[in-house]
Amino acid sequence: MDGTALARRISEETAALAAKITERTGTAPCLATVLVGEDPASVTYVRMKQNRCAKAGITSRHVALPAETTTEELVATITALSEDPEISGILLQHPVPHHIDERAAFEAIAPGKDVDGVTMHSFAAMGFGLPGFVSCTPGGIMRLLAEYDVDLTGKHAVVVGRSAILGKPAGMLLLEQNATVTYCHSRTQDLSS
Q: Which residues are catalytic?
A: 49, 93, 116
Give whole-number Cα distances, 84 to 9, 81, 94, 113, 124, in Å. 30, 5, 22, 10, 25
The region that residue 130 occupies, defined by phi over 0 for left and psi between -120 and 50 for alpha, beta otherwise, is beta
CA-to-CA distance for 33 and 96, rounded, in angstroms?
Answer: 13
Handedness of CA 118, 120, 121, 124 (dihedral sign): positive
Strand pairing of 180-184 and 156-160? parallel
Phi/psi at 89 (5° precision): -150, 155
Give whole-number Cα distances, 144 to 70, 98, 128, 181, in Å. 38, 33, 21, 18
